[in-house]
C-alpha cells in the first residue's frame, strides 16, 4: 500500500511524501474545499432556475448552497487546503448569489427596486474595495479576513470570529429568502397577488374565477403570466416570522458593509499619500518652472 502520511511543503501546504519526491504539482482545483465551492455554484444555478415560480424548491436549494459556505471553510482548515483561489471562489459565489436574489426582489417589489439596487451596489463595492485594499496595502499573501484593531473592533470581530461571521451571513441571507417567500404569499407587500376565489376576477362573461395564464397571456413567460403563476403559492405566516427575526442582523450587516467600504477607502488613501510622498509629490511651483 502507498504511504498515506502527509507532510508540509515550504508553502505550508500538505502533500504526500511520494508526490513531493516525484515533484508532482498539486491540483488546486480539485482540493476538497474547492469541490464544495463548485457544488455551491451548481446549487445556486438550480435555485435560480426554480426562482420565478417554485419558492419552496428554490429556497431549499439556495439555503443548502449558503450553508455549504461554512462547510468549505471547515474542510479547508481540516485538510490544510486553504488557497487564494478558494477564497476568491467563495467570495464571488456569495456576491453573485445574493445579487441574483436581490435582482428578483427588485422585480417582485418594483416600488422598492432602488433599495435592492443600492444593496447590490453596496455589497459588491464594499467587498471589492476591502479585498483590493488588503491585497495592495497588506501584500499578496494577506487574506481579506485578516483584520487588525486599527480597522475597528466591529470589523475585527466580524472577520476573525467564525461564529459571528456565520451568524451574520446566515441571518442576512435568511431575511432576503423570507422576503422572497413573501413575494409569493403576502398581498400586503405584493398587492398585485390574486385575490381569493370569493372575489371573482371576471375578465369577460363566462370566464372562471381564476383563469389560467394561458387564457389571458399569449406567452407563459410574460411578466403578467409569471406574476399570476406565482400568486398565492403559500401561507405568509412563517416568512413573516423569519423576516422580522432576521431583520436586525441584516440591517447591522449592511452597516458593516458601509464601515468596510469607508475603512478600505481610508486605507487606500493612506497608501496613496505615502506613495505620493515617496515620489516627492506635490512638486513646488518653483521647481515646476525650473523644469520648463
Q: Where are the domains of the chain?
A: 23-194+220-270
Specify the fold of 23-194+220-270.
1.20.120
Tell me the pLDDT band of 287, cut-offs 50, 70 and 90.
low
Helix (H, G, I), strand (E, B) or coil at 7: strand
- pTM metric for this prediction: 0.77
152-194 confidence digits (pLDDT tens): 677 778 777 888 888 999 999 999 999 999 999 888 887 766 5
Q: For residue 286, what pLDDT is reported?
A: 54
Residue 203: name the closest of 224, 222, 182 by CA: 224
Q: For residue 95, what pLDDT is reported?
A: 95
94 is catalytic: yes
C-alpha–C-alpha distance, residues 55 and 185, integer Å: 10
The catalytic position among 69, 72, 90, 94 is 94
Query: How many CA atoms does the CB half-sphere of 121 hold within 13 Å?
Result: 7
110-152 confidence digits (pLDDT tens): 899 999 999 999 999 999 998 898 888 765 555 545 565 665 6
Amino acid at each position: 500500500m502507498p504511504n498515506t502520511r502527509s507532510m508540509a511543503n515550504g508553502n505550508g501546504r500538505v502533500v504526500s511524501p511520494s508526490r513531493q519526491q516525484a515533484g508532482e504539482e498539486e491540483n488546486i482545483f480539485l482540493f476538497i474545499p474547492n469541490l464544495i465551492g463548485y457544488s455551491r455554484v451548481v446549487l445556486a444555478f438550480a435555485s435560480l432556475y426554480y426562482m420565478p415560480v417554485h419558492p419552496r424548491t428554490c429556497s431549499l436549494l439556495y439555503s443548502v448552497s449558503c450553508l455549504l459556505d461554512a462547510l468549505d471553510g471547515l474542510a479547508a482548515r481540516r485538510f490544510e487546503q486553504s488557497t487564494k483561489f478558494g477564497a476568491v471562489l467563495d467570495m464571488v459565489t456569495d456576491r453573485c448569489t445574493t445579487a441574483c436574489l436581490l435582482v428578483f426582489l427588485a422585480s417582485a417589489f418594483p416600488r422598492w427596486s432602488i433599495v435592492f439596487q443600492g444593496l447590490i451596489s453596496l455589497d459588491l463595492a464594499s467587498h471589492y474595495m476591502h479585498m483590493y485594499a488588503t491585497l495592495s496595502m497588506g501584500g499578496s499573501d494577506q487574506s481579506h479576513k485578516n483584520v487588525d484593531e486599527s480597522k475597528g473592533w466591529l470589523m475585527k470581530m466580524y472577520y476573525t470570529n467564525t461564529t459571528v461571521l456565520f451568524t451574520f451571513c446566515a441571518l442576512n441571507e435568511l431575511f432576503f429568502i423570507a422576503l422572497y417567500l413573501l413575494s409569493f404569499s403576502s398581498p400586503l407587500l405584493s398587492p398585485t397577488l390574486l385575490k381569493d376565489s370569493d372575489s371573482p376576477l371576471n375578465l369577460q362573461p363566462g370566464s372562471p374565477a381564476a383563469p389560467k395564464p394561458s387564457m389571458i397571456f399569449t406567452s407563459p413567460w410574460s411578466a403578467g403570466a409569471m406574476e399570476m403563476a406565482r400568486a398565492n403559492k403559500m401561507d405568509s405566516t412563517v416568512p413573516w416570522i423569519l423576516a422580522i427575526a432576521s431583520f436586525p442582523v441584516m440591517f447591522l450587516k449592511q452597516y458593516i458593509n458601509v464601515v468596510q467600504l469607508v475603512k478600505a477607502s481610508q486605507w487606500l488613501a493612506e497608501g496613496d499619500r505615502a506613495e505620493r510622498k515617496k515620489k516627492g509629490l506635490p512638486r513646488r511651483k518653483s521647481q515646476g518652472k525650473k523644469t520648463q
